[in-house]
Amino acid sequence: MRKIISLMLCMALALCCIVPAVAENAAMQPGTYEAEAQGFGGKVQVAVTVSESEITDIAITGELETPALGGVAIETMGDAIVKAQTPHVDGVSGATVTSAAIIAAASEALEAAGANLEAMDANRKDTAEDVVREEKTLDTDIVIIGAGGAGMAAAIMAQQAGQQFVILEKMPYVGGNTTKATGGMNAAETHYQKEQGIEDSVALFAADTMKGGHDINDPALVETLASKSAEAIDWLDTIGAELPKISFSGGASTNRIHAPADGSAVGNFLVDKFSAKLKELGVDIMLNTKATQLIMQDGKVAGVKAEGADANYTINCKAVILATGGFGANLDMIASFRPDLQGTVTTNAPGATGDGIVMAQEVGAALVDIEQIQLHPTVEQTTSMLITESVRGDGAILVNQGGKRFTNELLTRDAVSAAELEQEGCYAYIIFDQHLRDNLKAIEKYVTNGLTKQADTIEGLAEQLNIDPATLAQTLADWNEAVKNKNDTAFGRTTGMENDLSTAPYYAIQVAPGIHHTMGGVKINTAAEVISTEGEVIPGLFAAGEVTGGVHGGNRLGGNAVADIVIFGRIAAQSAIDYCAK
């Protein structure tokens, strides 16, 4: 009997030892717990509601995050965390900083609730068997592949024309590389230029573009870009996407780059406006749906194969518009064409992997200028964040570690990048003042993200940069004198000299070249029809934006990418509509 009682006591003690371990893993103090972490544009706040055993709700806010990227993480990651019952879920591609902030804040809140994060990770709820994909067939007139700037511009045109179409986007958000555009849109003979007394011409725009591209551009495409640019600005006005602020950009002969009134980044501005217009028009975008193959029949486009989150699609159609972007985020593909760029940071959105180029090649499309890959001279290397060309266009200068200017800051991007690579350390500092900051909203995200050094005097700024204070002070004095006299005797700069740098405090950002744009791609004609390796039009296949080659030649001018997506996105849509009507 004593043995039985002893055994029962041992079992009871064992159970007592086990129960607290289970409670440590699972028990939380019910309630709502809040925490915050630094996101891309500002603080991200997370409120986690828990019961004793599970996460029941998450509310995430981040008003300063970019709507097209960080906004997607804010909208989707809460549900993912609740579903997984752990904060350690996959982030949103392209919104890495915001995603990390959400995970960090959610983790802090859960720890405050008494959660055991290791146990949560071990018992996560979203590791079920693979989803069985359904096979679906759709029928439409046009398939637009890619919901970046060119794809969305084409979709707006198609919907306004009453055309049947579907638009596919492999990422969980719209925008693509357009979200990375910071400066503005080049256009000539616009009503904004005329209203502001700026003289320009289509011929001068075309000449600047050819010269900037080292004259290997397709002249017919360049002429189309320039001649249709004012019309494109007018069209943007009609959808509430006005670009009235005009300034200089590298390689331009006059003020031509059009930007939002407050100087905010043009890419996110247009993505927001395009998205709002598509929503107003009732257009649904198939997100998380990757096109994988073009279907051909009797030498003509007949459809698209695509993979969605829970279904495989065969989409029968009459025409396809490729608006998939370039391949600036596919570092293996870049290295295959340009081994010298191996290991270079990229400013590109993660979806820019060259999918459309590969699909087009598979059906016989010709490529043009495929090895022409552009470096942007002002990229912050630790974040790969592009410092907009408008900073230099509005009057900033570049100095080396010795505190001296070394180039005309508004030469073409390839020239400025090459000049930087010749400096000590292969980097430079972009220097600007409070007046420039006050008049260019895009700068705020650089300050918020801790990319800037700041001081009340130029000598104080020099000390933070380990530059000789007297040398940097003299460089700034010489520049301000050049602005006053409108004569840069050192490097012959003639643009972006409306305001000197004399308003404290002073700012600096360390920059170096980064992969920014792939000029080469699928060959098209002025109707945005894709051309085969035999020199013939591929019936039913159209392309627009960075997936194409020929527009920019050996070097793209700042502001021409946005012009490209809007102008040729619209042309591709109209050509596809006309083709379907035959």
CA nearest 327: which of 364, 356, 366? 356
Q: Which of 170, 529, 162 lies closest to 319 in space, CA to CA?
A: 529
pLDDT of residue 91: 86
The average confidence (pLDDT) of the chain is 92
- Please tell me the CATH superfamily of domain 135-181+272-372+519-580, with its number: FAD/NAD(P)-binding domain (3.50.50.60)
Residue 413 annotated among the catalytic residues of the structure: yes
Share of the chain above pLDDT 90, in %: 80
H/E stretch holding 548 reads strand 548-549
Q: What's the CA gap between 250 and 525, in Å, rounded?
A: 27
Token reading at 560: 């021409």
| pLDDT over threshold 50, residue 24 | no
469-483, pLDDT tens digit by residue?
999 999 999 999 999
**Of these residues, 413, 493, 556, 570, which one is catalytic?**
413
For 406, the token pair is: 């070394």
Question: Region 62-66: what's the mean pLDDT?
Answer: 82
* Other CB atoms within 10 A of residue 559 CB: 30
Q: Which of 115, 13, 9, 8 is nearest to 55 (CA)?
A: 115
Residue whose tokens read 């804010």: 74
The reported pLDDT for the residue numbered 42 is 82
170 three-class SS: coil
How confident is residue 250, by pLDDT bands cut at 50, 70 and 90?
confident
The HSE-up count of residue 543 (CA atoms within 13 Å, CB side) is 35
For residue 68, the Cα-to-chain-centroid distance in whole angstroms is 9
CATH level 2 (architecture), domain 374-514: Alpha-Beta Complex (3.90)
Residues in the chain: 582
**Burial class of residue 569 in the structure, from the number of CB atoms within 10 Å of its CB (0-12 exposed, 13-18 middle, 19+ buried):** buried
Please state the domain extents for the chain: 27-122, 135-181+272-372+519-580, 374-514
Please check whether the two domains, 27-122 and 135-181+272-372+519-580, share a CATH topology. no
Fold of 27-122: Sufe protein. Chain: A (3.90.1010)
pLDDT at 124: 82
Q: Where are the alpha helices (DSSP H) in 63-201?
A: 70-84, 96-112, 117-122, 149-160, 191-195
Q: Taking the CB of residue 491, how many other CB atoms lie within 10 A of it?
A: 15
Per-residue pLDDT of 194-229, as tens digits, reads 999 999 999 999 999 999 999 999 999 999 999 999
